[in-house]
Amino acid sequence: MAETFASRCYQEGVDCVIRTGELNNSTLVARPPGRFRWIICASPAYLREYGIPQSPDEWAEHLAIHDFSGSARRTSELRFARGTKTLSVSVNGDVAVNETGLYIKMCLAGFGLAQVAESIVPEHLREGRSIEVLADWQPPSVPVTLLHPHQRLLSPAVCAFADWIADII
């Protein structure tokens, strides 16, 4: 898939792309600006109705919004880590989406607990529309990589974009 993707980049004139997760072999140049720190959050209305989970084991008593996309389909299990201890927990939920904006809207509307990258919901957390739970049980972080074709000279705009991405991750 990475080779096909690299070929499409050359053919379609793509300057760069951002990928999350572990990379497969690729002919693209990889610049890793950082890692997504995942958090678990929910709306105040959801937490009033279902309570605030105190440990990942309590997820079985809660609803989760399921997220799936492309080849990285999520199952009904979520992984947590605290220090060297890791834990997989089955979660229930009636809603599954495949778009980040909708996933966040469903969380804010009270459909369940959500596992999101902290860098995409800071205003919701700051304004109290979403509340982080289980802060001491962080889901494992995920690498974020900026990829670009190796034969293409990076424009100043792409360089500025890469620097900006590194600052927000």
Structure confidence at residue 147 as a pLDDT band (50, 70, 90)? confident
CATH code: domain of residue 83: 3.40.190.10
Q: Which pLDDT score, from 0 to 100, does residue 130 have?
A: 97
Give the CA radius of gyration of the chain.
Answer: 18
Percent of the chain with pLDDT over 90: 27
Q: Could you tell me if 112 and 50 lie in one domain?
A: yes
Q: Which pLDDT score, from 0 to 100, does residue 2 have?
A: 47
What's the pTM value of the predicted model, to 2 decimals? 0.72
Read off the pLDDT of each residue in 13-38 and give the average, rounded to a whole number.
Answer: 76
- The yes-or-no verdict on residue 21 having pLDDT over 80 is no
State how far the Cα of 135 lies from the Cα of 29, in Å rounded to an integer.
35
Please indicate, yes or no, if residue 85 is contained in any of the structural domains.
yes
Q: Could you tell me if 108 and 149 lie in one domain?
A: no
Helix (H, G, I), strand (E, B) or coil at 46: helix
List pLDDT tens digits, range 116-132. 888 889 999 999 999 99
Please indicate, yes or no, if residue 108 is contained in any of the structural domains.
yes
Please indicate, yes or no, if residue 118 is contained in any of the structural domains.
yes
Q: Could you tell me if 92 and 45 lie in one domain?
A: yes
- The yes-or-no verdict on residue 1 having pLDDT over 50 is no
Q: Could you tell me if 121 and 148 lie in one domain?
A: no
State how far the Cα of 64 lies from the Cα of 31, in Å rounded to an integer.
33
Please indicate, yes or no, if residue 138 is contained in any of the structural domains.
no
How many domains does the chain fold into? 2
Spatial CA neighbour of 121 closest among 138, 103, 148: 103
Structure confidence at residue 96 as a pLDDT band (50, 70, 90)? confident
Q: Could you tell me if 13 and 51 lie in one domain?
A: no
For 133-157, b/e burial (b = at least 16 CB within 10 A) is: bbeebebeeebbbbbbbeebebeee
Q: Could you tell me if 52 and 29 lie in one domain?
A: no
Q: Could you tell me if 77 and 122 lie in one domain?
A: yes
Q: Which pLDDT score, from 0 to 100, does residue 123 have?
A: 95
Q: Which pLDDT score, from 0 to 100, does residue 137 have?
A: 86
Q: What are phi and psi of 66, to 5 degrees?
A: -85, 140
State how far the Cα of 122 lies from the Cα of 33, in Å rounded to an integer.
19
Q: Could you tell me if 92 and 155 lie in one domain?
A: no
Read off the pLDDT of each residue in 98-126 and give the average, rounded to a whole number.
Answer: 92
Q: Could you tell me if 161 and 96 lie in one domain?
A: no
Q: Which pLDDT score, from 0 to 100, does residue 9 have?
A: 57
- The yes-or-no verdict on residue 52 having pLDDT over 80 is yes
Q: Could you tell me if 109 and 65 lie in one domain?
A: yes
Read off the pLDDT of each residue in 81-102 and give the average, rounded to a whole number.
Answer: 85
- The secondary element (H helix, E strand) that includes residue 67 is strand 63-67
Read off the pLDDT of each residue in 144-152 and give the average, rounded to a whole number.
Answer: 75
Segments forming the whole domain that contains residue 26 = 2-33+143-168
Please tell me which residue, 37 or 69, carries the higher pLDDT value: 37
Q: Could you tell me if 109 and 42 lie in one domain?
A: yes
